[in-house]
Every structure is written in structure tokens, then in C-alpha cells.
């Protein structure tokens, strides 16, 4: 069974549509996250120093070489009322380890976020957020994102007074304007049968130079 057939049958994780979109733009995709289906554990990259959480996908393209991609399929952006911006984010521990993956391998790591719902969450509507949340595929290279974080959240602790936090290790968030909109929602959902050129945003210009990531 081909990977596309697995996508159609729902046998991959929620990141499948993002992988299909990447393939429709001339990339070959190694779905590292498939290990999670078999073992219940996330994939790791091992070095002589330590093991690090690995991004979901390793993509290959003759024009610009391999790139790691962490693919997040979410429903809706989160309204950050302190700055009045839409935000999205990832687990803080994984974020720190993806930076190590980029450092150890010398390969770019991209974070891609696919949001498919335009109706904001009720908890955000309470704070008078805009009535339409952005949809589509957003992302940027980790070497850029590490310099433009919106904010961080503490690890979740239900005993803490006030804000209880998010996630087991905390979260890191980016504002919508710090991300590049790579595709519309419709483009991503229709990507399995499409064939478009690779966006310039994921060209060789993303490759690190001089060993700095």
C-alpha cells in the first residue's frame, strides 16, 4: 500500500494532509512519526551525546536537500489577549529538542501548523476576539522562529492559583504574523491529488550557512 493510499484510508496520524501537501509539491517524505503508531512512543534521533525527540517528517527534494518538518494539525488558533494576536504553538520540551536536532544534524527544521476551523474557541470568544480565526497551512524555519516567540506558558498544574498552564513541560507560542502562510485550507485538503511546484518559502535559502542555526 502506498503512503497516499494510507492517507486515504486514515492509517496515518493527523499530520497526513500536511505530508500529502508536501508530496504534491515535489517532495519525497519519510514519515518518521509512523513509529508512534506501532509503539505508542514518539520517534527519537540518537547521537553519541544523547537522544532527542525527532520531528514528524524528513523531506527530500533535489533542489534543496533534506529538511525536517514538525507537522501540527490543529483546529483553531488561540487568541492571546495580552497582545491581541492569534497564536499557535508546540510543547516546550519538544521545541528545545528540535533545536538540538537542527544543531546536531545541520539540517533545517520547519514547524508547520495546519488550522482547519474558522470559528474561534468559546474561551476566546469570551475575550472579544475576532469572529474569524485564520485557517490554512502556516509555518517557518526554526532558525527564524527561535528569534520571534510570542510567549511561553508554564507546565500545567491544576493546584496553581490563577493560570494553570499548558502541557506537561509548558508551551511556546508564535503570533500569526511570525508565520508564513504557505497554503489555504482548501489547498491542503485537496493536496493528495494535486501537483504544484515547491513554494519559494521552502527553497535552498532556508538551508543554514556557516554552521549557524
Nearest to 73 by CA among 196, 191, 193: 191
Rounded to two decimals, what is the model's pTM?
0.81
pLDDT, residue 122, reads 96
Nearest to 154 by CA among 162, 163, 145, 146: 163
Q: How deeply is 63 buried, as exposed, middle or buried, from its count of CB atoms within 10 A (0-12, 13-18, 19+)?
A: exposed
pLDDT, residue 152, reads 94
pLDDT, residue 66, reads 96
pLDDT, residue 108, reads 96
In the structure, what pLDDT confidence band is assigned to residue 206 with cuts at 50, 70 and 90?
very low
How far apart are alpha carbons 102 and 119 in whole angstroms? 35
pLDDT, residue 50, reads 78
| Predicted confidence (pLDDT) per residue in 72-130, tens digit | 999 999 999 999 999 999 999 999 999 999 999 999 999 999 999 999 999 999 999 99
Contact 31, 47 (CB under 8 A): no
pLDDT, residue 69, reads 95
Contact 64, 42 (CB under 8 A): no
193 pLDDT higher than 50: yes
| Predicted confidence (pLDDT) per residue in 155-186, tens digit | 766 665 556 556 677 999 999 999 999 999 99
pLDDT, residue 16, reads 81
Nearest to 212 by CA among 159, 143, 136: 143
| Predicted confidence (pLDDT) per residue in 10-64, tens digit | 445 557 889 889 988 889 998 775 444 454 556 788 887 878 888 999 999 988 8
How far apart are alpha carbons 138 and 104 in whole angstroms? 25
Nearest to 69 by CA among 2, 103, 34, 22: 22
How far apart are alpha carbons 164 and 158 in whole angstroms? 5
Q: Give the chain's length.
A: 213
Strand ranges, E, within the chain: 28-31, 44-46, 51-53, 57-60, 67-74, 78-80, 85-91, 109-115, 136-141, 151-153, 171-175, 180-183
205 pLDDT higher than 50: no
Q: Helical H runs in 40-141?
A: 92-105, 122-125
Nearest to 130 by CA among 182, 62, 66, 77: 77
In the structure, what pLDDT confidence band is assigned to residue 194 with cuts at 50, 70 and 90?
low
Written as one string, the DSSP assignment of 78-99 is EEETTTTEEEEEEEHHHHHHHH
pLDDT, residue 200, reads 46
pLDDT, residue 166, reads 65
DSSP state of 206: G
pLDDT, residue 15, reads 75
Amino acid at each position: 500500500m502506498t503512503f497516499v493510499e494510507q492517507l486515504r484510508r486514515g492509517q496515518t496520524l493527523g499530520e497526513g494532509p500536511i505530508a500529502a501537501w508536501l508530496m504534491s509539491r515535489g517532495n519525497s517524505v519519510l514519515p518518521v512519526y509512523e513509529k508512534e503508531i506501532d509503539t505508542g512512543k514518539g520517534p527519537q534521533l540518537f547521537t553519541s551525546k544523547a537522544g532527542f525527540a525527532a520531528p514528524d517528517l524528513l523531506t527530500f527534494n533535489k533542489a534543496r536537500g533534506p529538511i525536517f518538518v514538525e507537522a501540527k494539525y490543529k483546529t483553531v488558533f488561540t487568541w492571546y489577549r495580552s497582545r491581541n494576536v492569534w497564536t499557535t504553538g508546540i510543547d516546550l520540551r519538544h521545541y528545545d529538542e528540535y533545536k538540538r536536532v537542527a544543531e546536531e544534524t545541520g539540517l533545517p527544521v520547519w514547524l508547520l501548523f495546519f488550522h482547519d476551523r474558522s470559528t474561534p474557541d468559546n474561551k476566546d470568544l469570551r475575550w472579544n476576539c475576532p469572529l474569524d480565526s485564520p485557517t490554512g497551512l502556516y509555518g517557518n524555519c526554526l532558525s527564524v522562529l527561535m528569534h520571534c516567540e510570542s510567549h511561553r506558558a508554564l507546565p500545567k498544574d491544576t493546584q496553581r492559583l490563577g493560570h494553570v498552564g499548558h502541557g506537561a513541560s509548558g508551551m511556546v507560542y508564535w503570533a500569526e504574523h511570525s508565520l508564513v502562510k504557505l497554503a489555504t485550507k482548501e489547498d491542503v485538503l485537496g493536496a493528495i491529488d494535486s501537483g504544484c511546484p515547491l513554494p519559494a518559502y521552502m527553497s535552498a535559502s532556508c538551508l543554514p550557512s556557516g554552521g549557524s542555526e
